[in-house]
């Protein structure tokens, strides 16, 4: 098994973009923290994320279960071909950790790593939202990320401390090897009718609570719309 390597560490401030008077949704004013820049500094990683890194939508992003967002560097070759957007490069998905030697097939829920002075643990796959679509002017990009399985994943922080880029992650524990990020994405998006699998994943102790709630609603026969997550607010205005 290759040892995951943090190629670059990213952080950024919230930016406001777009035109508040625009008629089309894709051009309307919005704010995001996904425009992050690489840093070579040693940064304090708290339970809620990197000091100096900002989140715009605190209801759906950030917090203890989404303290760090990791995205494989190798995926950018795919996206540059897929959406023909030459400016999409490493850091372009809003990740904190640009990671090598790891992907959705090799990373599992509950994987616990020593990262610098800290201890971090995989909590959930990223559920792509509409903001990358706005950034790259691709209205269906969230769906394309979701369908491709190239979602990236989040870490929670078990022990705080200083971290940097250009360093390896040391695997300490892998309690759920059956629940790779790829397997979780398949249950969430591709195997929606398999309630047995949904039940098994929902019972995974170290899966983030919001994923558990979504799966539990499915088991109760409740269906929720992903339209706002995928296409953004005011979707009915067009």
Residue of higher predicted confidence among 113 and 85: 113
User: 130 with 229: CB under 8 angstroms?
Assistant: yes
What confidence score (pLDDT) does residue 22 get? Answer: 67
Q: Which of 36, 25, 27, 30 is nearest to 69 (CA)?
A: 36
Cβ neighbors of 95 (< 8 A, separation 6 or more) are: 10, 36, 69, 70, 71, 152
Query: What is this structure's pTM?
Result: 0.93
Residue of higher predicted confidence among 159 and 137: 159
pLDDT, one tens digit per residue, over 146-199 is 999 999 999 999 999 999 999 999 999 999 999 999 999 999 999 999 999 999
Q: Is the pLDDT of residue 30 over 90?
A: no
The answer regarding whether domain 5-237 maps to CATH 3.40.50.150 reads no
Mean pLDDT, range 132-150, rounded to an integer: 92
User: 141 with 105: CB under 8 angstroms?
Assistant: no
Q: Which two tokens stand for residue 150?
A: 């190239």
Residue of higher predicted confidence among 83 and 37: 37
Domains in the chain: boundaries: 5-237
What confidence score (pLDDT) does residue 23 get? Answer: 64
Name the H helices within the chain: 75-82, 131-136, 141-148, 181-185, 195-202, 209-219, 227-231
Mean pLDDT, range 217-225, rounded to an integer: 88
Q: What is the DSSP letter of 89?
A: -
pLDDT, one tens digit per residue, over 48-96 is 999 999 988 777 778 999 999 999 999 999 999 888 766 789 999 999 9
């Amino acid at each position: 098994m290759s040892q995951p390597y943090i190629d670059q560490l990213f952080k950024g401030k919230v930016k406001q973009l777009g035109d508040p008077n625009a008629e089309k949704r894709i051009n309307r004013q919005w704010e995001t923290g996904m425009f992050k820049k690489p840093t070579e500094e040693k940064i304090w990683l708290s339970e809620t994320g990197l000091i100096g890194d900002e989140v715009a939508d605190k209801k759906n992003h950030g917090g203890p279960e989404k303290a760090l967002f990791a995205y494989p560097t190798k995926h950018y070759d795919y996206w540059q071909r897929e959406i023909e957007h030459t400016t999409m490069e490493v850091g372009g998905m809003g990740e904190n950790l640009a990671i090598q030697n790891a992907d959705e097939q090799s990373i599992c829920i509950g994987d616990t790593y020593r990262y610098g002075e800290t201890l971090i643990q995989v909590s959930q796959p990223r559920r792509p939202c509409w903001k990358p679509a706005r950034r790259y002017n691709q209205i269906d990009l969230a769906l394309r990320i979701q369908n491709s399985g190239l979602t990236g994943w989040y870490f929670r922080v078990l022990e705080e401390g200083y971290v940097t880029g250009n360093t390896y992650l040391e695997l300490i524990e892998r309690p759920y090897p059956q629940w790779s990020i790829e397997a979780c994405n398949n249950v969430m998006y591709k195997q929606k009718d398999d309630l047995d699998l949904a039940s098994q994943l929902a019972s995974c102790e170290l899966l983030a609570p919001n994923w558990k709630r979504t799966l539990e609603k499915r088991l109760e026969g409740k269906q929720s719309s992903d339209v706002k997550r995928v296409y953004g607010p005011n979707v009915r205005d067009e």
